[in-house]
Amino acid sequence: MKAIGINGSPRKTWNTAMLLEKALEGARSKGADTKLVHLYGLSYKGCISCFACKEVGGKSYGRCAAKDELSPLLEEISRADVLIIGSPIYFRTETGETRSFLERLLFPYLTYTPGYQPIFPGKLQTGLIYTMNVKEQDLPAYGQDSSTAASRGTMTRIFGNCEMLLSTDTLQFPDYSKYLCTAFDPAAKADRRREVFPKDCEKAFELGARLVAAAMEK
């Protein structure tokens, strides 16, 4: 049983990475072997629109033909049991590295057929973890409820399932006095970090455990 966590944040020890670590801890509690990958440590591009993954009878049909440091990871994911992708929200959507990763991960498994039927060959349980500065009640105003739902919908179409965890109103940095950020209340941010973020970590742990349990039932 293999669970892979994908950190789409440039920060390796902050909100997104912490939640992913908790999710993988939950996966390990159910007996899974786990691996955390930091996308910003890899050199790769997004989809190059070569359409080799769509060529019937072609050697790359159903898989990405581009070769770079992302290629081994995509192959490893195709054989995994659980995939948990984490990203902060930048300008209403995932980070650039995460978007490029999702293009390479998802497009080869999506066919140009009625209903865009998927051809993913494995049985993968998936989850998305998003961190964001926006407060939960403000998600619709910024369109972040619809953007995250769209990604979850695509993941569900390809893999048949996808859980999602939103961690909102997160702490951006330990010392707000060093930056121009007068739109925020540092004390309120610190309180939320102390009181709410640990609950998000618990939810992440439970998510990881649930995904492994579901994979075991397949």
Domain boundaries, the chain: 2-217
Give Cβ neighbours of residue 72 (< 8 Å, ≥ 6 apart): none
Quick one: which of 14, 52, 53, 48 has its CA closest to 172? 14
Cβ–Cβ under 8 Å, residues 132 and 144 = yes
Compute φ and ψ for 157, nearest 5 degrees.
Answer: -60, -45
Produce one character per residue of 12-47: b if its CB has 16 or more CB atoms within 10 Å, e if not: eebbbbbbbbbbbebbbebebebebbbbeeeebebb
At residue 138, the pLDDT reads: 87
Condensed to tens digits (0 to 9), the pLDDT of residues 133-167 reads 998 998 898 888 888 999 999 999 999 999 999 99
Tell me yes or no: is domain 2-217 CATH 3.60.15.10: no
Compute φ and ψ for 118, nearest 5 degrees.
Answer: -85, 155
Average pLDDT over residues 30-49: 97
Taking the CB of residue 198, how many other CB atoms lie within 10 A of it? 11
Quote the tokens at residue 11: 């920060």
Q: What distance in Å separates the CA atoms of residue 122 and residue 83, rounded to the nearest whole number?
A: 12
At residue 208, the pLDDT reads: 98
At residue 144, the pLDDT reads: 86
At residue 218, the pLDDT reads: 72
pLDDT interval class at 41 (50, 70, 90): very high
- Segment holding 217, helix H or strand E: helix 197-217
At residue 122, the pLDDT reads: 83
pLDDT interval class at 123 (50, 70, 90): confident
At residue 68, the pLDDT reads: 96
Q: What is the dihedral of CA 34, 83, 14, 169, to 10 degrees?
A: -140
Condensed to tens digits (0 to 9), the pLDDT of residues 51-105 reads 999 999 899 999 999 999 999 999 999 999 999 999 999 988 999 999 999 999 9
pLDDT interval class at 217 (50, 70, 90): confident
Q: What is the pTM of this model?
A: 0.94
